[in-house]
């Protein structure tokens, strides 16, 4: 099982964090009673700028239906761009992959985005499609693990993993809760596609050696969406770092031990850019230094948290600018609603 390529795609509209803060202050107006608190929250997330699906002035008074229509159009366009680039990098034609897995938690469509891409990109009419909704931030890692499962079953095939997250379209005007104020400073928009190949395929790539999924019972209220006629409202408990600290270290040890490895054998870490508290909590839980997660911190700074696409952006950053020497062991991981985690053991 091998990762052949990773490619990202972003909307054309990019704004600095200062521009976004000013826009939110105008958007909420007198509802923001403590301007300094909002500015500090947005500054403390460590994000310098983010991409948005639409020009910032178009977000005023969007209904759920209007926002979802924009999600469908933009997700299809960015998804097509990311998949095309990933196929080109892997040296594949559009009709070669036998499966496509699509993950997102920021919009809904039927037929799903993967179905819309079959004709648009000329994918095989016999391609198997697996659209996944609801996994949130963990879905990039989970989708990659399910892609590995696919090519384990079909070792002569290729599979596409596509993540598109347009977090800006979930903005809730009447929600001034701390969770929503933080999320409006943290989340951005983007897409990423990965091509995974089975062991019988000849192309070289990053090996996927093993995966581990872990679900933590009775934590369903820690993170997710509260969905109403107004759309998606963020659920984000301050206890998330505590859940991570209590569980992820043991999950990692279990994955490594069954492969005859220890933490000292891991030379590269590719972890979801959940935000400063999440990254520091993960560092503490795994006994890592901030430098060990430099790729994650860099992606957080450049583009914010892209939910399921985030860990795939960190994977792309690692491949393009921080590629380990051949033979290096690596851990790719993310966490999300459930609460749950997915870890993958890689070898370069």
Residue 303 has pLDDT above 90, yes or no: yes
Q: Tell me whether domains 2-197 and 206-347 share a fold.
A: yes
Q: Is 167 a catalytic residue?
A: no
Sign of CA dihedral 259, 264, 268, 269: positive
H or E, element range at 213: strand 206-215
Cα–Cα dist 221/281, whole Å: 19
Encode pLDDT of 237-249 as tens digits.
778 888 888 888 8
Read off the pLDDT band of 319 (50, 70, 90): very high
Question: Which range, of 49-63, 133-147, 150-164, 217-231, averages the lowest pLDDT?
Answer: 217-231
> What does the pLDDT read at residue 60?
84
> What does the pLDDT read at residue 5?
97
Domain ranges of the chain: 2-197, 206-347
Residue 150 has pLDDT above 80, yes or no: yes
Whether the CB-CB separation of 317 and 299 falls below 8 Å is answered with yes
For 100, phi then psi, to 5°, come to -140, 130
Find the length of the chain.
348
Nearest to 187 by CA among 272, 293, 250: 272
User: What number is the average pLDDT over the span 43-52?
Assistant: 92
Q: Which of 137, 167, 299, 340 is catalytic?
A: 137
Cα–Cα dist 189/4, whole Å: 24
User: What number is the average pLDDT over the span 204-224?
Assistant: 90
Encode pLDDT of 77-130 as tens digits.
999 999 999 999 999 999 999 999 999 999 999 999 999 999 999 999 999 999
Q: What percent of the chain has pLDDT over 70?
A: 100
> What does the pLDDT read at residue 302?
96
Residue 75 has pLDDT above 90, yes or no: yes
16-20, 159-163, 171-175: which has the highest mean pLDDT? 159-163
Nearest to 167 by CA among 239, 87, 243, 273: 273
Whether the CB-CB separation of 103 and 162 falls below 8 Å is answered with yes
> What does the pLDDT read at residue 117?
98
Read off the pLDDT band of 223 (50, 70, 90): confident
Please name the fold of domain 2-197.
Peroxisomal Thiolase; Chain A, domain 1 (3.40.47)
Residue 176 has pLDDT above 80, yes or no: no
> What does the pLDDT read at residue 346?
98
Judge: domain 206-347, CATH 2.40.50.1040: no
- What average pLDDT does the chain have? 92
Cα–Cα dist 80/73, whole Å: 11
Tell me the whole-structure pTM to 2 decimals.
0.93
């Amino acid at each position: 099982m091998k990762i052949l390529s990773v490619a990202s795609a972003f909307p054309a509209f990019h704004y600095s964090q200062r521009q976004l803060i000013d826009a939110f202050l105008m958007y909420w107006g007198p509802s923001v009673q403590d301007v300094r608190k909002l500015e500090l929250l947005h500054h403390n997330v460590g994000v310098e700028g983010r991409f948005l699906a639409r020009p910032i002035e178009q977000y005023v008074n969007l209904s759920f239906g209007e926002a979802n229509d924009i999600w469908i159009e933009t997700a299809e366009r960015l998804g097509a761009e990311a998949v095309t680039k990933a196929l080109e990098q892997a040296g594949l034609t559009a009709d070669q992959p036998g499966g496509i897995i699509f993950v997102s938690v920021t919009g809904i469509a039927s037929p799903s985005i993967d179905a819309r891409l079959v004709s648009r990109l000329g994918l095989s009419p016999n391609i198997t499609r697996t659209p996944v909704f609801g996994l949130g931030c963990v879905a990039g890692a989970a989708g990659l693990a399910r892609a590995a499962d696919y090519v384990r079953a079909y070792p002569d095939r290729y599979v596409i993993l596509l993540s598109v997250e347009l977090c800006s379209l979930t903005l809730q005007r009447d929600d001034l809760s701390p969770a929503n104020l933080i999320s409006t400073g943290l989340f951005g928009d983007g897409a990423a596609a990965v091509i995974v190949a089975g062991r019988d395929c000849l192309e070289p790539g990053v090996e996927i050696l093993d995966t581990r999924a872990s679900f933590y019972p009775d934590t369903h209220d820690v993170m997710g969406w509260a969905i109403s006629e107004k759309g998606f409202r963020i659920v984000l408990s301050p206890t998330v770092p505590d859940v991570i600290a209590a569980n992820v270290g043991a999950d990692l040890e279990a994955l490594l031990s069954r492969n005859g490895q220890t933490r000292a054998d891991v030379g590269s870490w590719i972890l979801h850019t959940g935000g400063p508290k999440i990254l520091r909590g993960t560092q503490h839980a795994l006994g890592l230094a901030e430098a060990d997660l430099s790729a994650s911190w860099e992606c957080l700074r450049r583009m914010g948290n892209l939910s399921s696409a985030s860990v795939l952006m960190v994977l792309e950053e690692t491949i393009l600018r921080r590629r380990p020497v051949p033979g290096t062991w690596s851990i790719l991981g993310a966490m999300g609603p459930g609460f749950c985690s997915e870890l993958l053991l890689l070898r370069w």
